[in-house]
């Protein structure tokens, strides 16, 4: 196949992306005012998906200073449809709802979990390899495939390296981010603390980060990496994948992967990458649904992914040079 040198999936600049999410939330206010004026007690929403799967997409989330939301319930399309048809013929369905929940002002459950293995090379230890996955999830199930298991994979990769008695040349940082599902809040907070505000030139600390690796495409085996349009990084990953070709195909694409925390680091001109993973039932069934549970995490794949990751982290931490940036 002909090699592609430009990416087809366009990345929206991060500040623009954040702005669009903010205005998207406010768009609900008008609807909420209408429902309140009508004397509504709750909102029932439905999302058409594969048969029998409950998807809570479209349930509203509340930001400080927004209108106080009504209780939202995600229901199955067939239940929604039946109620609509009853109403259309003048029958009034009787609905009983039970909601037990609490609104927390304190963000005690939305935190970043950061760990570090300090490098040993006198010159290189000030440089970092950062690996990350998000720790939060959606409310319809426990979030095993998005993104619980990948947190486990990253921790396990570091455990393998530590257990083997390895001391890296560069410093390795692990970030398990809170609030990714709410607009990359955790990784953004970390990045602002360390690399400066979004609208300024990336600071000197950002230049010490050799690479950021993100794991958040479900729980299938790692097959390769998205270059995020950073063609200069291709030789680095070709070399790294070569010795593990029995474990991982090592596909490298110039394409972008979107919609998760590596976009935060990419904004600061840090080489930031997501992995290509077997899709399994991620997009069709488990992503954000009531099926995002441990039963759909293939143990062998995530064990293999931890080994692949351990090798990649090791290789990046030992290189003489940093991973090349898109622009210098
Ligand atoms: Zn995710």
Residue 203 contacts residue 196 (beta carbons within 8 Å): yes
Least confident of 8-17, 207-216, 292-301: 8-17
Cα 261 to ligand 1 centre (Å): 9
pLDDT of residue 139: 83
pTM: 0.92
* Beta strands at 43-46 and 113-117: parallel, antiparallel or unpaired: unpaired
% pLDDT > 90, the chain: 74
H-assigned helices in the chain: 14-26, 28-37, 77-88, 149-163, 185-195, 204-207, 234-241, 262-267, 299-318
How close is the Cα of 215 to the center of ligand 1, in Å?
Answer: 9
Q: Is 323:255 a contact under the CB 8 Å cutoff?
A: no
From ligand 1's centre to the CA of 226, what distance in Å? 16
With 80 as the cut, is the pLDDT of residue 104 above it?
A: no
Ligand 1 centroid from CA 38, angstroms: 36
- Three-class secondary structure of residue 43 per DSSP: strand
pLDDT average, residue stretch 39-59: 84
d(CA 15, CA 74): 31
């Amino acid at each position: 196949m002909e090699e592609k040198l430009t990416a087809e999936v366009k990345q929206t600049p991060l500040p623009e992306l954040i702005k669009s999410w903010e205005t998207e939330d406010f768009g609900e206010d008008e609807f909420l005012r209408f429902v309140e004026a009508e004397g509504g007690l709750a909102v029932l929403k439905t999302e058409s998906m594969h048969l029998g799967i409950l998807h809570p997409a479209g349930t509203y989330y509340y930001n400080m200073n927004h209108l106080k939301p009504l209780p939202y319930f995600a229901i199955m399309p067939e239940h929604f449809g039946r109620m609509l048809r009853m109403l259309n013929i003048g029958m009034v369905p009787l609905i009983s709802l039970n909601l037990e929940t609490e609104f927390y002002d304190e963000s005690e459950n939305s935190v970043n979990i950061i760990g570090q293995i300090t490098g040993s090379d006198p010159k290189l230890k000030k440089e970092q390899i950062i690996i990350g996955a998000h720790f939060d999830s959606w409310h319809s199930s426990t979030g095993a495939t998005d993104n619980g298991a990948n947190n486990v994979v990253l921790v396990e990769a570091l455990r393998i390296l530590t257990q083997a008695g390895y001391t890296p040349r560069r410093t390795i940082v692990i970030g398990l981010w809170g609030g990714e599902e709410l607009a990359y809040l955790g990784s953004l907070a970390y990045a602002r603390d360390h690399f400066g505000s979004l609208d300024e030139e990336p600071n000197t600390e950002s230049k010490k980060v050799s690479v950021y690796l993100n794991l958040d495409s479900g729980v299938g085996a790692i097959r390769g990496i998205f270059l995020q349009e950073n063609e200069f990084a291709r030789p680095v990953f070709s070399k790294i994948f070569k010795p593990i070709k029995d474990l991982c195909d090592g596909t490298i694409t110039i394409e972008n992967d979107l919609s998760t925390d590596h976009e935060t680091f990419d904004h600061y001109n840090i080489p930031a990458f997501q992995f290509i993973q077997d899709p399994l039932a991620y997009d069709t069934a488990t992503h954000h649904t009531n099926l995002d549970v441990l039963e759909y995490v293939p143990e062998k794949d995530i064990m293999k992914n931890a080994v692949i990751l351990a090798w990649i982290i090791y290789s990046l931490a030992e290189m003489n040079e940093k991973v090349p940036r898109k622009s210098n």
